[in-house]
Amino acid sequence: MALSAICARNLIFTSNSSPLPVPLHNEQELKAFIAQGSETAFTTVFHHYRHKVFTVAGKITGSRTLAEEIVQDVFLKLWIKRQQLRDVRDLDAFLFIMTRNECFSALKKIAMLEARDVRYANGTGEISLPPHAGMEIKEYRKMLADAVDRLPAQQRMVWMLSKEEELTRENIAARMGISPETVKQHLKVAMRSLRAYLMQKMDIPVVIVLLSRFL
């Protein structure tokens, strides 16, 4: 594994979802490195901007869950289209526009789904939805779901209760009849397993973004 890949992996998975203490001294250089496929440069930018993107998305959508998904979409698309960064002058403004557009797209999709439900209820048929622009993102999320399905039964249950239902360790322990410490260990091992599986399937920056909301 390349040194840059090892650095990127260590930076994301040893932090506790807080921004890296690395100022963006040379944004132009970072953008150039990302455009060339530097995972370390991407990791630095991701940690520097992820909380700002989340805050903007939360204010626009009014939904924490939707904001978390938009953070994923923004940075996954940033990596997928990384070569375009060579033409970006202001990364902060660029990410703001990306975030705003993702928010409007998500809200529009929700409105269209609600309209479809109303049409079904009225017996007037179905409206056609535009194809999702980010098929790669859907594929990435499917890989994550597949990775979760591969976990041992008890680990998978703990993971789902914690990450999907957002239960506390104590509530999970009470529901499953195990100790909170056992819950903690299951989550730790599950994260390690998911990380190892996904790193065999996709670029490290994609793994960083997919798992960041669970750290």
Concatenated DSSP letters of 19-61: PPS---S-HHHHHHHHHTT-HHHHHHHHHHHHHHHHHHHHHHH
Quick one: fold of 3-121? Rna Polymerase Sigma Factor; Chain: A (1.10.1740)
**What is the pLDDT tens value at each position of the chain, 215 positions in all?**
333 333 434 333 333 333 333 345 688 888 999 999 999 999 989 999 999 999 999 999 888 888 988 999 999 999 998 998 888 888 999 999 999 999 998 888 777 655 544 444 444 433 333 444 356 778 888 888 999 999 999 999 999 998 888 889 999 999 999 999 999 999 999 998 998 888 888 888 888 888 877 66
HSE of 78 in the Cβ direction (CA atoms, 13 Å)? 33
What count of residues does the chain have? 215
- In angstroms, rounded to a whole number, what is the distance separating the alpha carbons of residues 35 and 3? 18
- Asked if 70 and 213 touch (Cβ cutoff 8 Å), the reply is no
Give the pLDDT score at 159. 92
Predicted local distance difference test score (pLDDT) of residue 137: 77
* pLDDT score, position 204: 82
What pLDDT, on a 0 to 100 scale, did the predictor assign at position 25? 66
Predicted local distance difference test score (pLDDT) of residue 203: 84
CA dist 196 and 213 (Å) reads: 17
Residue 20 is predicted with a pLDDT of 33
CB 52 within 8 A of CB 66: no
Would you list the domain boundaries of the chain? 3-121, 135-212
Q: What is the pTM of this model?
A: 0.61
Q: Which fold has domain 135-212?
A: Arc Repressor Mutant, subunit A (1.10.10)
CB-CB neighbours of 80 under 10 Å: 16
**pLDDT, position 130:** 40
**Count of CB atoms within 10 A of residue 95's CB?**
21
pLDDT at 215: 60
Per-residue confidence (pLDDT) for residue 24, from 0 to 100: 59
Indicate the SS3 state at residue 99: helix
Q: Residue 157: CB partners within 8 Å, gap ≥ 6?
A: 176
DSSP state of 164: I
* CA 18 to mean position of chain CA atoms: 15
